[in-house]
Amino acid sequence: MKKRLFLIPVLIAVMILNIAKVAEVSAENFGEKYKLNQIVILSRHNIRTPFVEGSKVPAGFLTNLGGVLEVENGQYFREYLKNEGLLPEIYSPAPGEIRFYANSYQRTIATAKYFSSGMFPNTNIETEYKYKINEKDPVFLEHLPNNVNEKFYKAIDEKFEKIGGIQPTVDYVNSRLPALLKAMKLKKMTDANIPKKYSAKDVEPSKKWVKTEKFQPAIIAADTLIMNHYADLVAGVKDKLTEEDWQKISDISYLGQYSYSDFPEYSLFRSRNMLKLINDELETEGRKFTFLCGHDTNLSTVLSALGVEDYTAPKSLITKTPIGGKIVIEKRIDDFGREFIDVNLVYQSTRQIQNLEFLSADNPPMILPLNFKGIKRNEDGLYTAKDFKKLLTDKIAEYDTFVD
């Protein structure tokens, strides 16, 4: 019996996102009514080493654990695409059918290679990258141009005022600092650069929309603790921190990403090239599967720029862009030749990571449907391709209104 990838986890999304109609479609009827035609995945790299000096492994490299988890992800998608009839179990891709493209960093290239080895164990899939290792690819890491106009700055000022300025961020961090400092003490990490409490006057940034720059020591310390915590979970290492402590530490580690959700205009500048790439991949004739591997920034900026409705990833320590998380875009075609799009966040739960659980149709990863402002799903839980592609192209075009 075929099982739709998104059927079981959708029950969680019904409670969170109030899209109960998605759950009405049976696994058997859905695959018959809407044939899977193409998948585009935008993935965050998996577990990496922390960005700290003195580590035995180079900072920012994919760990062995991260590689194992990506192989599991690839194996799961191989089974899923076989069950959906998109790719046979023993598959040799024709030219142009498959594309793997990563940012030019060890952790992103390695993540793509591990995923491909799990998904295509009988085929040597090339992972494309365009620059020297550790040299930024602007498709993945795009920054503000020099010709930003006043319309952009006005939009940013309005959003900054709407969220209450810098004080809410200061309060957010201060409420979580005790857990971070407690963990650093237990792990014998220096906290010389981290105060016991921040003030708005101390952290007021020079550029309003980059409101986390003065928190960087705390963010880096929290990131180091979280990346090591995943390895400790698998190794069975216990400490005196509660789950609530770890969640607060995770919140600090992700602080830099929240500026994107607050400022979608800024996210658009960081993601315009990626949005164009996703649109191009969906339009590429003969393409069946695309795997784009970047960073948490890529997931958060793409979703923010597209106007994603607020969401929280259940059963994950990182609740917006889970480690190894993937935006999965499916193109499906009905019996009348009409195209539809489904967009979901796919990731392994903390439990699945901790236990190195084998992913399968009976034990799928967590899958959370993503909703976007301005477009609606149909009675079967899908967007029309026309609506979704218009959303993409409208956002890409909006970029030009913010530059001279």
Nearest alpha carbon to residue 200 among 173, 162, 163: 173
Confidence band for 57, pLDDT divided at 50, 70 and 90: confident
What is the biggest distance separating any 2 CA atoms in the chain, rounded to whole angstroms? Answer: 65
Which residues make Cβ contacts (< 8 Å) with residue 21, sequence separation at least 6? 377, 379, 380, 381
Contacts of 96 (CB under 8 A, 6+ apart): 284, 286, 287
Q: Give how far Cα 94 sits from Cα of 35, 128, 169, 211, 332, Å.
A: 20, 17, 50, 47, 21
Q: Which of 5-9, 11-15, 44-48 has the highest mean pLDDT?
A: 44-48
pLDDT bracket for residue 338 (50, 70, 90): very high
Closest to 75 (Cα-Cα) out of 122, 37, 120 = 120
Q: pLDDT band at 11, cuts 50/70/90?
A: very low
Phi, psi of 325 (to 5 degrees): -65, 155
Q: Residue 383 pairs with which residues in a beta bridge? A: 341
80, 31 contact by CB (below 8 A) = no
Question: Does residue 103 have a pLDDT over 80?
Answer: yes
Residue with more model confidence, 161 or 234: 234
25 — pLDDT class (breaks 50, 70, 90) = low
Residue 331, φ and ψ in degrees, nearest 5: -105, 125
φ/ψ of 344, rounded to 5, equals -140, 155
**Banded model confidence at residue 74, pLDDT cuts 50, 70, 90:** very high
Q: Which residues of 162-189 are buried (b: 16+ CB within 10 A; e: fewer)?
A: eeeebeebbeebeebbebbbbbbeeeeb
Neighbours of 335 (CB within 10 A): 9
192 — pLDDT class (breaks 50, 70, 90): confident
Residues 6+ apart with CB under 8 A from 113: 100, 127
How high is the pLDDT of residue 18?
Answer: 38
- As a whole-number percent, the residues of the chain with pLDDT over 90 amount to 74
